[in-house]
Structure 1
Amino acid sequence: MCGTLCYEQINGTLNILVSTWRKCYEEDKLDEIIFSGLREQMEPGSLKLFSAIAYQCVKKSREERPTMDEIIKELELALKQQEVFEDLENKVNLEEIIKVVKLAGGSYESRNQLILLLLKGILVDDGKTFLSINKKGETCEMISALKCISGDHVLSSSLQESRFGSGRTTEMYKGFRVEVSTQFLSPHVTYTINLVLKRTDQVGGTNVPFKYKLENETQYSNPCIVDVREDGWLTIELYQFTSSEKGDSFSIDIAQPLLYYSSAPLYFLEGIEFRPVEHESHENQEDENKIDMQRISDSDIYWERKLMNDYTEILALSKEKLEWTTKKELYFLLRKGFLVDNNGKKWFSMSKDMKKRLMIPARASLLDKEWIWKSSPESRFGEMAEFPDGDRFLIKFKLTSEILSPQTIYSCHIIYKLPEDDSSFQHHIQTTIDDPSCGSNRERLIYLVTPPQTPIIGPKTDQDHIQPRPRKIKGHPRLRKDGWMEFQFCEISTDTTGSINMEIEFSGYRNENVNFIGLVVQGIEIRPL
């Protein structure tokens, strides 16, 4: 990456550069040492993986350096991400985009740099359209409210925090009209139509006081899926549709609901955003346990290579005597998992790529006195926790290095069940994450109950007879094969020692009334991404 030797000679004095490289990585100053012209050719995620494993390789202590198997695995992941990035040039119609970018006065030095710009997003169409691409090469398009939203009580407004620097303001209950046409969408791709807005007073939760319909529809729909962007804007999903070759046009009426408050708040309207729909992979999390049986050997040497280097230390933590006769049997034992005693009872297993997985019991992450504890054969730990009453609860856990893989991004999932009457769980749930590693709090919205499907624009027969593919939406719950529900509430990274120390509060989002009575929790599952 640096394009130089690991040392230099100045006036006959040998100067070792390794300590400088380590310092640049730790202070996030890789630009100072990476070979000129290399960074713009690398996909950011690939660069992050590559630099992380390189940093581990130059650790002072031999024990802290990775094995060759670990190095190869990380380099293969970095290469895979880089290949996806380079493949984008073949998927995206760059020639048409280049014309649009030139008209907008945009500048770039290479096609790779243009792709990096598109991954972040650029303004085109006289600053009234925000154009970007995702990692599949599908185009995302957002159109300014100034161009597509109008109404008797809709006013122009300067919005410094908006992508466009301007937008509309309105008292939502008075209604308005959306007239929007797409120019840059990828053809034959399923998109969602989203209204992007925020309250001027920054309160009010995610309950949006409007209903909506297409111009030729007679029945109104209510918003079902609402998300909060990292910059605080609400995105309200209105419809799904499949894009055409020549662009699509929509006329949508936003109307007041039957009931609304007399002192209606003012809303900023940023615009209408078209996002490609993400579907769940056919290989869901449970399928991760399946093994490709082609060309599989029974040789112990073959299966030994597929095991973690420290598997003997992990096996020593088992609460029961584990039995196996071959390395193949041991591999599947590690994949299935078993109870370990590591500062308390946990369920340990191994992923396909030799990363450590962990499930923490409810008792190790919840406050004992706030929950009702019940025996349960359905739980891996023989018990589960039921919440008696209240509008918030806290999860706290700390994990040590030997039980997790270092320098790894993990997703955290709460494993739970709801009571038969789940009406009190229909609102958004806010997670506030206290992460000491970044020295700040992070917030994310999640659902405990899957919201209704967004209306689909298209032939009615499609909605009546075709089972829609499951969508991949952050914060939405998923039914597991063991009958429990789960949702991902955060992503975390292990540091060089592999330790995690987290505190997460679950509560209703702002003014939304939520009661967690009857919520049953088995534990927290931590899986490598």
Structure 2
Amino acid sequence: MEEEEKGEGISDFSSLPEGVVAKILSFTTPSDACRSSVVSTTFVAAAQSDIVWDSFLPTDWEILISRRKPSNLNFDPISSSKKGIFFSLCDTPLIIDDGNKSFSLDKCSGKKCIMLGARELSIIWSDMPAYWTWEPHPESRFAEVAVLLNVWWLEIKGKLSCKMLSPATTYAAYFVFKMDERRYYGFDIVAADAAVAIVDGECCSSRVCLDPFLENAPPKRRRRTPCLRRNPLGNSMSRAKQPQERHDGWFEIELGELRNNGGDDVVEFFLKEVNCNYSKSGLIVQGIDIRPKVSRDLA
């Protein structure tokens, strides 16, 4: 009987002071804190506490928001609640570093998400108007996107300091793009090579398909020949990773994963297709999105 009474006392968290409950919730996750609100009125109040939500914010969040344009902020860092700041950073990516990167938080885990805009990437021949053009796009978070006019050799690279990412976290990098449906071609022939690599460290590579309409493209956009159909490179398209449509209307393809263990490492991203003798056109590049894998696991 005495043991049962002890068990009941330990399990009745709603009888604990609000500050103690808030401290307990600060060791959980944003998802857990939100779900705890249905337990009792004590948990409702505790789940709103700055103690809880300050623990979910990255320690360097104030430094990161200081790298934005002065007007690009929809909360007051001083007077806003920490919960309000957290969800603002989840729902509205901040454009930082001269408009070439964005910073946001994963809503499930509170981990940092970084996106490199097209201007932050190294795109071969992107400074030559005969091959690429730079244009504003109404659906891009960045001021400009890179639009492919015509190339045979496609090579896109990017890099990022791991200090900008959350430590002890597994990330995936996604190439974010669209196709100009009026004039794209040349992406249905061979798969592209993709890789995510820590400089002087581990590398994760894969083959990816950049044609989001591979099975439904009009015949006039098909550039295959009987020779290419028999070519192992051409056959690899069906085995390559396929693009997925995002909630914002863009497409993305996973380039690879990395484990960020902290430190001064630099991660590099690669995407290239240099094996095809056909030209390519119509690719619209927004950037490379680096976000925690846990985001997919908990969604």
TM-score normalised per structure 2: 0.64
- 1:40 is aligned to none
CA distance in 2, matches of 1:520, 1:440: 29
Moved more, 379-388 or 433-442: 433-442
Deviations 1:429-464 (A, max 9, x none): 2215373535587642111234449xxxxxxxxxxx
One-letter code of the match for 1:375? P
Aligned pair partner of 1:479 in 245, 249, 264: 245
CA contact (8 A) 1:392 1:505 kept: no
Which residue among 61, 64, 67 is the counterpart of 1:311? 61
Q: Secondary structure at the match of 2:114?
A: strand
Question: Is the 1:494–1:500 contact (alpha carbons within 8 Å) kept by the matching residues of 2?
Answer: no
RMSD over aligned Cα, in angstroms?
3.5
Highest CA radius of gyration, 1 or 2?
A: 1
Taking structure 1 as reference, are residues 391 and 439 closer, same or farther at Cα in structure 2, changes over 3 Å only?
farther
Gaps of 5+ in 2: 1-23, 38-43, 217-238, 294-299
Letter in 2 for 1:497: G
- Which of residues 186, 195, 207 is equivalent to 1:424? 186
**Larger relative contact order (CA 8 Å, sep ≥ 6):** 2
Matches within 5 A, 1:192-207: none
Closer, same or farther in 2 for the Cα pair 1:439/1:335, shift >3 Å? Answer: closer
Per the TM alignment, residue 496 of structure 1 is displaced from its structure 2 partner at its CA by: 2.5
Structure 2 CA distance for partners of 1:384 and 1:504, relative to 1, 3 Å: same
Which of the residues 231, 239, 263 maps onto 1:497?
263
What is the CA–CA distance in structure 2 between the aligned matches of 1:440 and 1:306, rounded to whole Å? 29
User: In the TM superposition, what is the alpha-carbon distance from 1:399 to its structure 2 partner?
Assistant: 1.8
TM-aligned CA distance change 1:309 to 1:439, over 3 Å: closer
- Determine the C-alpha separation between the residues in 1 that align with 2:118 and 2:253: 15
Q: Give how far 1:401 is off.
A: 4.3
The code of the aligned residue for 1:348 comes to: F
Q: Aligned pair 1:320/2:70, yes or no? A: yes
Measured in 2, the distance between the counterparts of 1:389 and 1:292 equals 49
Cα deviation code 1:77-126 (max 9, x no counterpart): xxxxxxxxxxxxxxxxxxxxxxxxxxxxxxxxxxxxxxxxxxxxxxxxxx
* 1:403 CA drift (Å): 1.9
Contact 1:320–1:339 (CA<8 Å) still a contact in 2? no
Identity, % of aligned positions: 28
Residues 442/519 of structure 1: CA separation in 2 closer, same or farther (3 Å cut) = same
Q: Check the 8 A contact 2:185/2:281 in 1, yes or no.
A: no
Partner of 2:118: 362
CA distance 1:369–1:336, change in 2 (3 Å): same
Given that 1:337 and 1:350 are in contact with CA atoms closer than 8 Å, whether structure 2 keeps it comes out as no
> 8 Å contact 1:344–1:364 — kept in the other structure?
no
Cα distance in 2 between the residues matched to 1:306 and 1:442: 29
Letter in 2 for 1:485: F
Q: 1:356 to 1:514 in 2, by over 3 A?
A: farther
Give runs of aligned pairs for residues 163-174 of structure 1, distance below 5 A.
none
Task: Deviation per CA, 1:334-376: give whole Å up to 9, x if none.
Answer: 2124334348631100112121101111011033415310122
Matched residue type, 2:65: L
Structure 1: how far apart are the matches of 2:186 and 2:50?
54
* 1:383 Cα offset (Å): 1.2
Please give the secondary structure, in 1, of the residue aligned with 2:146. strand
SS of match in other structure, 2:206: strand
Change (3 A) 1:312 1:445: same
Read off the aligned partner of 1:369 and give its amino acid letter: D
- Alpha-carbon contact 1:413-1:486 (below 8 Å) kept: yes
1:394 equivalenced with 2:144 (yes/no): no
Cα distance, 1:400–1:340 mapped onto 2, change above 3 Å: farther
Distance in 1 (alpha carbons) for counterparts of 2:92 and 2:162: 18
How many angstroms does 1:482 deviate by? 1.3
How far apart are the structure 1 equivalents of 2:263 and 2:90? 23
CA shift at 1:497, angstroms? 1.8
Query: 1:375-386, aligned counterparts within 5 Å?
Result: 375-386=136-147
One-letter code of the match for 2:263?
T
CA displacement 1:128-176 (0-9 Å, x = unmatched) = xxxxxxxxxxxxxxxxxxxxxxxxxxxxxxxxxxxxxxxxxxxxxxxxx
Q: Which residue of 1 aligns with 2:88?
A: 333
Q: 1:477 to 1:434 in 2, by over 3 A?
A: closer
Any idea what SS the aligned residue of 1:369 has?
coil
C-alpha separation in 2, matches of 1:342 and 1:497: 21
Distance 1:428 1:389 in 2: 17
Match of 2:241, as an amino acid?
G
Q: Distance in 2 between matches of 1:440 and 1:299?
A: 41
Distance 1:312 1:449, change over 3 A: same
2:287 is aligned with what amino acid? G
- CA positional deviation for 1:303: 2.3
1:353 maps to: 109
The residue that corresponds to 2:211 in the other structure is 449
Match of 1:412 in 2: 173
Q: Could you give the per-residue CA deviations for residues 288-313 of structure 1, whole angstroms, max 9, x where no partner exists?
A: 99x95661533323322322233222
With normalisation by structure 1, the TM-score equals 0.38
Change (3 A) 1:303 1:339: closer
Q: Which amino acid in the other structure matches residue 516 of structure 1?
A: K
Check 1:493–1:446 CA distance in 2 against 1; reply closer, same or farther (3 A cut). same
Give the unaligned 5+ runs of structure 1. Answer: 1-68, 77-287, 454-472
